[in-house]
């Protein structure tokens, strides 16, 4: 499965430090139940939750940076929703050919639009976790991936490579924004897993 994941990473625009994060983002519960050889022992749902939360925040930020201002809260909500609705997520999933990568049980023959949308969110969540696992990680990488996949042009942002280059020093165009985003992501993850453990 090494070569296909190389191709998927190229389409996403991100090279995973720990490829098991990507495999988990692609693993359905049915694959775990059937002990699929490519499945990770945890499914994609937690990553999809993280990806959904981060996606909305970064889309808002990208749109604000592009337009500098918004109208009413209703207009802001509609703009963000147009990017993050399931039909748009499933379209991106088809563009990434995720149906060829989603790890599922034998009883699941067809990949649905919902499965594609969930996989896109889970991949974004996997990037968040993968970046946090690295000492030199940068959340700007995720912003670039989202901007490219969702066709949001970034205003006054220099062109930078989308792949994670391991030993290279991460770029940082705004340390304040970087610090704030990392604290937000950490808080979301801590709250989610606290709820999971208490239930």
What are the extents of the domains in the chain?
2-198
pLDDT at 136: 63
What digits encode the pLDDT tens for the residues 82-133? Answer: 889 999 999 999 999 999 998 888 877 788 999 999 999 999 999 999 998 8
Catalytic (active site) residue 118: no
Q: Which fold has domain 2-198?
A: Ribonuclease iii, N-terminal Endonuclease Domain; Chain A (1.10.1520)
pLDDT at 70: 60
The single residue of 9, 118, 121, 130 carrying the catalytic annotation is 121
Lowest mean pLDDT among 6-15, 132-141, 172-181, 182-191: 172-181
Helix axes 113-132, 45-67, angle to 10 degrees: 80
What digits encode the pLDDT tens for the residues 128-156? Answer: 999 988 876 666 888 899 988 988 765 54
Token pair belonging to 62? 């990208």
Catalytic (active site) residue 121: yes
The single residue of 52, 130, 139, 144 carrying the catalytic annotation is 52
How many other CB atoms are there within 10 angstroms of residue 156's CB atom? 7
Asked whether the beta carbons of 14 and 89 are under 8 A apart, the reply is no
For 8-75, give the DSSP string: HHHHHT---SSHHHHHHHTB-HHHHHTT-TT--SS-SHHHHHHHHHHHHHHHHHHHHHHHS----HHH
């Amino acid at each position: 499965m090494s070569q296909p994941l190389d191709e998927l990473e190229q389409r996403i625009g991100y090279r995973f430090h720990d490829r098991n994060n990507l495999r988990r983002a692609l693993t359905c519960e049915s694959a775990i139940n059937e002990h699929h050889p490519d499945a990770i022992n945890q499914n994609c749902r937690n990553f999809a939750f993280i990806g959904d939360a981060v996606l909305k925040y970064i889309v808002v930020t990208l749109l604000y940076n592009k337009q500098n201002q918004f109208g009413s809260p209703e207009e802001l909500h509609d703009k963000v929703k147009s990017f993050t609705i399931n039909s748009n997520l499933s379209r991106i999933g088809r563009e990434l050919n995720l149906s060829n990568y989603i790890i599922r049980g034998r009883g699941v023959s067809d990949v649905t639009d919902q499965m594609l949308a969930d996989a896109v969110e889970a991949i974004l969540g996997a990037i968040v976790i993968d970046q946090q696992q690295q000492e030199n990680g940068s959340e700007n990488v995720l912003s670039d991936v989202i901007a490219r996949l969702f066709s949001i042009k970034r205003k006054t942002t220099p062109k930078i490579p989308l792949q994670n280059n391991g030993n290279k020093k991460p770029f940082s165009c705004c340390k304040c924004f970087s610090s704030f985003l990392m604290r937000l992501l950490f808080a979301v993850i801590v709250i989610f897993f606290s709820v999971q453990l208490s239930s």
